[in-house]
DNA sequence: CATAGAGATGACAGATCAGA
DNA sequence: TCTGATCTGTCATCTCTATG
């Protein structure tokens, strides 16, 4: 059925995604503000609270956050979405040129659902031809189109400037709370460090103080104990939980589980 | 789908050093 | 004294394959 046809097409800062089957997104970190449009099917986003972007929905995701996504095709059809990343340098330039700034650190929702907007929809449709003829999408055009997206977003809702033009890097936040909420995201320690506003060295030191264990070890143990709970108390299956708790492949999950608990996960 | 194992590699732990 | 950057050996983790 699924001959692995190209599912993701990347042009500069544009991403066209299509899937015939329900599929997890592979990236768990949002490096830049991202504007997305669900053309067909829906996206389930875990942050870790679940948010659903239905067919036809548009959303703006703030940069510097962890999100797991599941792409769900419509019945009998194909999942299709377009995303555009809004790079910091372009946003800074736009901010300077138009003298629009955020009034302070952004405190609103990290995933903003945008109400239906004919102009934004028209904009996304204008991007479609480039995915079939990528050669036409020059760097200059990419910049123009990105600028257009920013302009349209501000027209759509001027208050989005608070999100778009917040150029602050993450400040030093409560490490314990953050880790307990985000341990199931499988990203490098350096990523956790940045997101909590620390250097890698500082992160390790603080981490050791709080959890009495190095980050890597604590993470696997935390993930395994969560998996244990899901398997034992909730009666779920290994193949269902290993991704949820932050493992990448089933093979390694089984191995690690058995090493810690002495039993294979399927025997619980 | 679940497990096991082997082999490759890349991330992490932990120490050191420099600057604030 | 605290913070951040850098380095290195080791081991954990991933990939791949085989098997039930």
What are the pLDDT digits (tens) for A65-122?
999 888 999 988 899 999 999 999 999 999 999 999 999 889 999 999 999 999 999 9
Q: Which residue has the higher pLDDT, A247 or A91?
A: A91
A156 — pLDDT class (breaks 50, 70, 90): very high
CB burial of A10-27 (b: ≥16 within 10 Å; e: otherwise) equals ebbbbbbbbbbeebebee
Q: What is the CATH number of the domain that holds A196?
A: 1.10.10.60
Give the separation between CA A19 and CA A128, rounded to whole angstroms.
Answer: 16
Q: Tell me whether residue A2 is in a domain.
A: no
- Nearest protein residue to the C1' atom of B11, measured from CA: A188
Residues A207-223: what's their mean pLDDT?
A: 88
- The answer to whether A248 CB is within 7 Å of strand B is no
Name the least confident of A3-12, A199-208, A237-246: A3-12
DSSP 8-state code for residue A266: G
Q: Is the pLDDT of residue A6 over 60?
A: no
Q: Which domain holds residue A89?
A: 8-164
Q: How many domains does chain A have?
A: 2
pLDDT of residue A141: 94
Q: Is the pLDDT of residue A25 over 90?
A: no
In the complex, which nucleotide's C1' lies nearest to the CA atom of residue A207? B13
- Nearest protein residue to the C1' atom of B12, measured from CA: A216
**Does residue A40 sit in the same domain as residue A148?**
yes
pTM score of the predicted model:
0.88
Give the separation between CA A203 and CA A207, rounded to whole angstroms.
Answer: 6
């Amino acid at each position: 059925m699924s001959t692995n046809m190209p599912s993701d097409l990347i042009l500069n800062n544009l991403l066209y995604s299509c899937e015939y089957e329900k599929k997890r997104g592979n990236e768990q970190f949002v490096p830049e503000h991202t504007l997305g449009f669900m053309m067909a099917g829906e996206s389930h986003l875990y942050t870790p609270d679940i948010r659903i972007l239905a067919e036809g929905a548009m959303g703006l995701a703030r940069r510097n956050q962890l999100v797991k996504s599941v792409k769900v095709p419509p019945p009998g059809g194909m999942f299709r979405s377009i995303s555009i990343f809004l790079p910091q340098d372009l946003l800074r330039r736009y901010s300077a040129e138009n003298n629009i700034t955020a009034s302070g650190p952004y405190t609103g929702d990290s995933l903003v659902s945008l109400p239906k907007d004919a102009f934004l929809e028209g904009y996304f449709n204008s991007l479609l031809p480039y995915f079939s003829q990528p050669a036409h999408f020059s760097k200059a055009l990419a910049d123009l189109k990105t600028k257009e997206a920013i302009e349209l977003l501000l027209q759509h809702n001027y208050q989005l400037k608070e999100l778009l033009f917040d150029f602050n890097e993450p400040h030093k936040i409560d490490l314990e709370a953050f880790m307990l909420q985000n341990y199931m995201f499988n990203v490098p320690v350096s990523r956790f460090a940045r997101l909590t506003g620390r250097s890698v060295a500082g992160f390790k030191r603080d981490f050791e103080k709080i959890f009495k264990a190095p980050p890597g070890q604590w993470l696997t143990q935390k993930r395994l104990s969560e998996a244990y709970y899901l398997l034992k108390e909730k009666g779920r299956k290994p193949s269902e939980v290993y991704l949820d708790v932050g493992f990448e492949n089933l093979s390694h999950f089984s191995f690690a589980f058995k090493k810690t608990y002495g039993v294979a996960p399927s025997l619980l």
